[in-house]
């Protein structure tokens, strides 16, 4: 897991070295173990390395030329889990390293721009092919790893985080009104356009071909199989067992210590049981709980860990931590999501680094693939035609400045649901938008802020191919989601309470904000980003209701803090009140 960036100028002029320095400096937290740089003609590839596999010879860029540092070159942020199989399939290739990323380079040499179709893993990849005069970028089909770019008259510029493109002077920190509306009303932003005008996401599964600084071709690799649900054989639980064990085993490839983020829920419990079974070793688990208020599942996590012989480290987050750290956490999420789970995820990333764990596994993706959300259950309800479509309720209610907030997601269920069941259509929308633009951005930024890699064994092509085509009845009924996964867990890990109700990983932000609503409201209302959307009385009213309705209050506070850093350029190292006071003074 790393950070990467690069340039291809339109006129072939060499990129500015100072600009390249700024790009690498802005990504240093992603790769504390080394840096790589290639500049030839109008092209540059940059790499900040977090060493996970092949600690000795895995530095990047990787090259395909006969002489060191020559020929087609690759930089990668990710892990290629079918590295052994790819190597075995190319017996004539003389590999130069043990890096899991090197087979991707040689697949490109054989398959060209379709090279990523052969990869099993999470990745954002950039390849410079000097013979063809092209730059090729690819992102994994679930969007586990992100890549952002600018394409304009100057050329083509890309980086693992948009803040690096801004820090390098390649884009201004403006705010797109449409994306702002989505963020505040949906909690995340949709599509290829980011909240920063001119900065675009490489879409999940997308491969771009760039020549002379301009995009000339696009390819797409789908995350999900086509068609309606398929019948499930009599051995559905056994088949699921094989698929899950294979994926978790593949995701454990590492030359450094790894652990697990463990809640009291069934998804991480499943990963725990599979990790123990695949390795026979004592797993190091981390769990996060809240001091004083809120639903705390750390006791349940400790019980589950003990049942599998795992070490379970409790990470506590209290009210004082919230007020002290929220600005820094919001600053880490440069592609913003107003998901309060960023708070414990950041805390877990910090704890993992302190514990010497450079890799952690987690349960992201199980809900989306196996049908874990109530909105999927509603699609099987006899009354579903009379209910609101998913994501049709605005977080802040009707706000004139945020009109059009649903435009980006409206109609996706029809487009992505063609030839699929209603449950599959709802899942497909989440996998296309919510998963990559909320959950996976959260995981990436909160962990990479501490130089920790997060792995998601549920988000695997084999798992998706099995789970997404399950009959709707194997996913959801009117009481439960993830029915087949629960049936499997009941047998594989009986202590896990497979049919317990879902609680969610939600910190008690409402209670924390409500405790200081009176002093916070005037500061937050005066913050320029918030003032452009809501009046003082409207802000105060939402903060006053924070305990009963936490999401509106947190969305406003998150955006205010995020705006302080990413639009105003303020230092996020102070506490919440201090940062908001600085914003007030700066805007006078």
pLDDT tens readout for residues 437-449: 999 999 999 999 9
Q: How far apart are CA 458 and CA 439, in angstroms?
A: 13
Beta strands in 390-487 (DSSP E): 453-455
Any domain includes 230: no
Any domain includes 486: yes
Q: Which of 193, 220, 247 is the last residue of a domain?
A: 220
Any domain includes 290: yes
Q: How far apart are CA 227 and CA 94, in angstroms?
A: 40
Handedness of CA 288, 147, 136, 412 (dihedral sign): positive
**From the CB of residue 69, how many other CB atoms can be counted at a distance below 10 Å?**
10
154 in the same domain as 124: yes
Handedness of CA 361, 362, 368, 370 (dihedral sign): positive
Q: How far apart are CA 469 and CA 460, in angstroms?
A: 14
Any domain includes 226: no
51 in the same domain as 185: yes
358 in the same domain as 268: yes
Q: Which domain holds residue 170?
A: 2-220
To 10 degrees, what angle do helices 576-586 and 517-526 make? 30
Tokens for 202?
A: 């490489």
Q: How far apart are CA 55 and CA 255, in angstroms?
A: 7
- Contact residues for 548 (Cβ-Cβ < 8 A; gap 6+): 510
Q: How far apart are CA 544 and CA 537, in angstroms?
A: 10
- Contact residues for 583 (Cβ-Cβ < 8 A; gap 6+): 526, 527, 528, 560, 563, 564, 568, 570
Q: The CATH number of the domain where 40 resides is what?
A: 3.60.20.10
- In 3D space, the residue among 71, 43, 78, 73 whose CA is nearest the CA of residue 60 turns out to be 73
Any domain includes 286: yes
Any domain includes 397: no
Q: How far is CA 525 from CA 182, 287, 335, 535, in A?
A: 20, 34, 23, 7
Q: How far apart are CA 118 and CA 471, in angstroms?
A: 28
48 in the same domain as 188: yes
539 in the same domain as 483: no
Quote the pLDDT of residue 503: 66
262 in the same domain as 329: yes
Any domain includes 274: yes
418 in the same domain as 560: no
Q: Which of 220, 253, 285 is the last residue of a domain?
A: 220
Phi and psi dihedrals of 570, rounded to 5?
-80, 155
In tens digits, the chain (588 residues) has pLDDT values of 699 999 999 999 999 999 999 999 999 999 999 999 999 999 999 999 999 999 999 999 999 999 999 999 999 999 999 999 999 999 999 999 999 999 999 999 999 999 999 999 999 999 999 999 999 999 999 999 999 999 999 999 999 999 999 999 999 999 999 999 999 999 999 999 999 999 999 999 999 999 999 999 999 999 999 999 999 988 899 999 999 999 999 999 999 999 999 998 999 999 999 999 999 999 999 999 997 777 789 999 999 999 999 999 999 999 999 999 999 999 999 999 999 999 999 999 999 999 999 999 999 999 999 999 999 999 987 766 667 788 889 999 999 999 999 999 998 888 898 999 999 999 999 999 999 999 999 999 999 999 999 999 999 999 999 999 999 999 999 889 999 999 999 999 999 999 987 666 689 999 999 999 999 999 999 999 999 999 999 999 999 999 999 999 999 999 999 999 999 999 999 999 999 999 999 887
Q: How far apart are CA 571 and CA 564, in angstroms?
A: 8
Any domain includes 502: no
214 in the same domain as 135: yes
175 in the same domain as 61: yes
Quote the pLDDT of residue 219: 97
- Structural domain count of the chain: 3
515 in the same domain as 477: no
For the chain, the C-alpha Rg in angstroms (whole number) is 23
Q: The CATH number of the domain where 250 resides is what?
A: 3.40.50.620
545 in the same domain as 423: no
pLDDT, tens only, 485-504: 999 999 999 999 999 876 66
468 in the same domain as 381: yes
- Contact residues for 66 (Cβ-Cβ < 8 A; gap 6+): none
| Cis ω before 61 (30° cut-off from 0) | yes
Q: Which of 220, 254, 284 is the last residue of a domain?
A: 220
CB 63 within 8 A of CB 73: yes
């Amino acid at each position: 897991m790393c950070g990467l960036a690069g340039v291809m100028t339109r006129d072939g002029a060499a990129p500015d070295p100072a600009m390249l320095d700024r790009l690498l400096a802005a990504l240093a937290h992603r790769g504390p173990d080394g840096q790589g740089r290639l500049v030839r003609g109008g092209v540059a590839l940059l790499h900040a390395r977090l060493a996970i596999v092949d600690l000795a010879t895995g530095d990047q860029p990787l090259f395909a030329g006969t002489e060191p540092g020559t020929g087609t070159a690759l930089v990668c942020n990710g892990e290629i889990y079918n590295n052994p199989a790819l190597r075995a399939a190319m017996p004539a290739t003389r590999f130069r390293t043990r890096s899991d990323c090197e087979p991707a380079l040689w697949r490109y040499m054989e398959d060209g721009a379709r090279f990523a179709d052969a990869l099993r893993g999470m990745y954002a990849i950039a390849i410079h092919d000097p013979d063809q005069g092209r730059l090729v970028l690819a992102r994994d089909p679930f969007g586990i790893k992100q890549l952002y770019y600018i394409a304009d008259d100057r050329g083509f510029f890309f980086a693992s985080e948009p803040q690096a493109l801004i820090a390098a002077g390649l884009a201004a920190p403006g705010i797109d009104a449409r994306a702002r509306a989505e963020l505040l009303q949906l909690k995340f932003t949709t599509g290829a356009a980011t909240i920063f005008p001119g900065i675009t996401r490489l879409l999940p599964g997308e491969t771009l071909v760039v020549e002379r600084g301009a995009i000339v071709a696009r390819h797409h690799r789908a995350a999900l199989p086509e068609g309606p649900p398929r019948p499930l054989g009599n051995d559905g639980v056994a088949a699921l067992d094989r698929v899950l064990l294979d994926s978790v085993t593949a995701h454990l490839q590492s030359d450094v210590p790894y652990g697990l983020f463990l809640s009291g829920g069934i998804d991480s419990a499943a990963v725990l049981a599979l990790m123990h079974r695949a390795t026979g070793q004592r797993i190091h688990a981390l769990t996060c709980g809240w001091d004083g208020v809120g639903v705390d599942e750390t006791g349940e996590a400790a019980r589950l860990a003990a049942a599998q012989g795992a070490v379970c480290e409790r990470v506590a987050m209290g009210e004082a931590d919230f007020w002290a750290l929220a600005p820094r956490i919001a600053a880490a999420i440069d592609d913003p999501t107003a998901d309060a789970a960023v708070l414990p995820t950041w805390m877990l990333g910090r704890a993992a680094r302190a514990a010497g764990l450079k890799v952690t596994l987690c349960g992201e993706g199980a809900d989306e693939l196996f049908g874990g959300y109530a909105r999927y259950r509603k699609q099987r309800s006899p009354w579903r035609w009379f209910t609101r479509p998913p994501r049709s309720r605005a977080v802040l209610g009707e706000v004139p400045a945020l009109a059009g907030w649903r435009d980006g997601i409206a109609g996706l269920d029809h487009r992505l649901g063609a030839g699929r069941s209603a449950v599959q259509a709802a899942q497909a929308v989440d996998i296309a938008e919510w998963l990559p633009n909320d959950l996976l951005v959260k995981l990436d930024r909160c962990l990479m802020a501490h130089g920790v890699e997060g792995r998601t064994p549920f988000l695997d092509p084999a798992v998706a191919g099995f789970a997404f085509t399950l009959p709707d009845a194997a996913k959801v009924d009117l009481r439960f989601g993830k029915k087949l996964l629960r049936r499997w867990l009941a047998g594989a890990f009986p202590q896990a309470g497979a049919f317990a109700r879902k609680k969610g990983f939600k910190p008690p932000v409402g209670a924390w904000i409500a405790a200081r609503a009176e002093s916070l409201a005037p500061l937050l209302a005066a913050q320029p980003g918030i003032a452009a959307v809501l009046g003082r009385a409207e802000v105060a009213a939402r903060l006053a209701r924070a305990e009963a309705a936490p999401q509106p209050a947190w969305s406003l506070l998150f955006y205010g803090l995020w705006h302080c850093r990413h639009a105003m350029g303020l230092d996020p190292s102070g506490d919440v009140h201090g940062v908001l006071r600085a914003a007030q003074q700066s805007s006078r």
